[in-house]
Structure 1
Amino acid sequence: FRRSTNNVRSFAVAASGEISPPATDGAKPKRRRKKNLFEVVQFLPKWGIGYHMAKSHWKGVSYEITKINLYKDGKHGKAWGIAHKDGVAAADAPKKISGVHKRCWKYIPNVKRALTA
């Protein structure tokens, strides 16, 4: 079933025959893109080694970053860390952190750093 272009144009044109520009007053503000782990740690000293990071939906759980293997573009790679629950280490040995490329990471500022600068 085809419609002629005249029929489609009649729907697109305003009642007065003039096309009005779209209103920008009610436009939604652009949502800020969340960051993956590497975009969060790139501005921290030593690429965040020794700092605590967590996914935004985790409650009381974080990772203390111990090692980062960064790819050339600076936004991808692999990371290892020690899991912490309520500020206490949940494991002795570091393990590979899963989901480092997902866009939901945040820096946890109030946890004491184990490694000193």
Structure 2
Amino acid sequence: MLEHFVKPQLVSDGILNTAVFQHDGALPEFPLIVSDYLNRMLPRWWIGRSSPNIWTPRSPDLTLLDFFMWGCINSHNHRVKITSLHQLCERIVEAVNSIAHDQLQRVFSTMAERWSLCIDK
């Protein structure tokens, strides 16, 4: 998934060297090959267990995906019964595309404030 979807998208968006990839480090998703791959693909731009960057694990209040994105996508997806993987993929894309630019700006601002508070502490 990282090789076939994430990396090409980061390259396409021109942000491969500036995006920060957050890996949750769940045991089923974390064989040594994954951290090796992340260290090669995003040497300074990933956070998670065994990453070169210090971060606070299991902190949903510090992550955009946990405190905003998954809830937004789930509320959109569960309005209609999903009957296939293809339909699920379409609904996820629709959900992401339905997020307003100003809403994302507020989310990013809130996230930066949360990070700043943690740094101060």
Q: Do Structure 1 and Structure 2 share a fold, with TM-score over 0.5?
A: no
More strand by share: 1
Q: TM-score, normalised by structure 2?
A: 0.21
Greater RCO (Cα-Cα under 8 Å, separation 6 or more): 1
Q: TM-score, normalised by structure 1?
A: 0.21
